[in-house]
Amino acid sequence: MKKYMVMECHLSYAVVLDEEGRFLKVANRHYEVGQIVTDVFEMQIPQPVTRKKANKKWLYSLSAIAACMILVLVSIFQIGQMTHASVYMTINPEVRIDVNRKNVVVDIDGLNEDGDDLIEGYTYKKKKLDLVMDELVDRAIDMGYLKEGGRISLMLDSDNDEWIDAHIKKLNAQLNRHLDKKLKVTIVVVDKRTYGNKASIPVVPGGSDYSDYYGSDYGDSDYGDSDYDDSDYGGRRPTRPTGPTSPSGSVPSADDSDYSDYDDGQTDYDDSDYDSDFS
């Protein structure tokens, strides 16, 4: 059994010396200094918080804050990359241009072989829709896809009807300004909601190709110049064929008429004046 010598006495605790020479803090059970005791209750001294542990707590807090900020930034980035509307541009190359709510292009895709060729090596990031369209049109001209008398077709697609209504005229006017004094082309803008109905068909620059687009010669039809009124139907009617007259001028009998030859298969019907009147 271990023995302890009481070295100090306080109200709630005492300091004792064990046989190994260690000082221990124990509960004061009415001990007196110098007393030898065998049964003691050692008190647990709280360990001081080290600077290292304190730094870890701050690190955990900062990590949590940083994680929250990252989540917020990722959410904002994803919203910025979400497609709000699409513009399908067809020259011969056909491409789809996706934009966000701020009309910044977030993606571009070729829809046919020429479209892939047109956008190959082209950088669209952080560019506005109008700039991308202008640059793609210029590339189409340089690559020989768009020439004098050509056509640019735009189809707008979005769940936001207001965006479509606002950009039908806006994109039309913007391309007109860009192509002014460059090429004479037809620009057609359609709304995917009512695909097939032309929203606008301006031509730049100069005169209109409206009649060329619709391809109708209705006003120049020969319908009014028909020869219907000059038809031979208004001429004299054919006369009944008559047989030859006798030298005496008497009327031939039925037996002497050319009609009698019909029974013999030798009728003169084809030689009558009936044919001559309609020839």
> What's the confidence (pLDDT) of residue 50?
60
Number of Cα atoms under 13 Å in the Cβ half of residue 149: 1
Q: What's the first-to-final CA gap in the chain, in angstroms?
A: 154
Query: Global pTM?
Result: 0.47
Full DSSP string of 103-155: SBEEEEEESSHHHHHHHTT---TT-BHHHHHHHHHHHHHHTTSS-TT-EEEEE
Measure the CA–CA gap between 6 and 36, rounded to whole angstroms: 6
Place of tokens 């059994």: 1
- Max distance between CA atoms of the chain, in angstroms, equals 193
Full DSSP string of 147-211: -TT-EEEEEEEES-HHHHHHHHHHHHHHHHHHHTTT--EEEEEEEGGGTTSEEE--EESSS--HH
Measure the CA–CA gap between 58 and 249, rounded to whole angstroms: 145
Measure the CA–CA gap between 184 and 62, rounded to whole angstroms: 62
Measure the CA–CA gap between 242 and 261, rounded to whole angstroms: 13
For residue range 174-203, what is the model confidence (pLDDT) as tens digits? 999 999 888 889 999 888 877 644 444 444
pLDDT tens, N- to C-terminus, the chain (279 residues)? 788 888 999 888 889 888 888 888 888 888 889 888 988 888 876 666 566 666 677 777 788 888 888 877 776 666 666 888 999 999 989 999 999 989 999 999 999 999 999 999 999 988 999 999 999 999 999 999 999 889 999 999 998 889 998 999 899 899 999 998 888 899 998 888 776 444 444 444 444 343 333 333 433 434 344 444 444 444 444 444 444 444 444 444 444 444 444 344 444 444 444 444 444
From the list 169, 81, 101, 173, the residue with the least C-alpha distance to 134 is 173
> What's the confidence (pLDDT) of residue 271?
44
> What's the confidence (pLDDT) of residue 225?
43
Q: Is the Cβ–Cβ distance between 213 and 187 less than 8 Å?
A: no
Question: What six digits make up the tokens of 136?
Answer: 């793609």
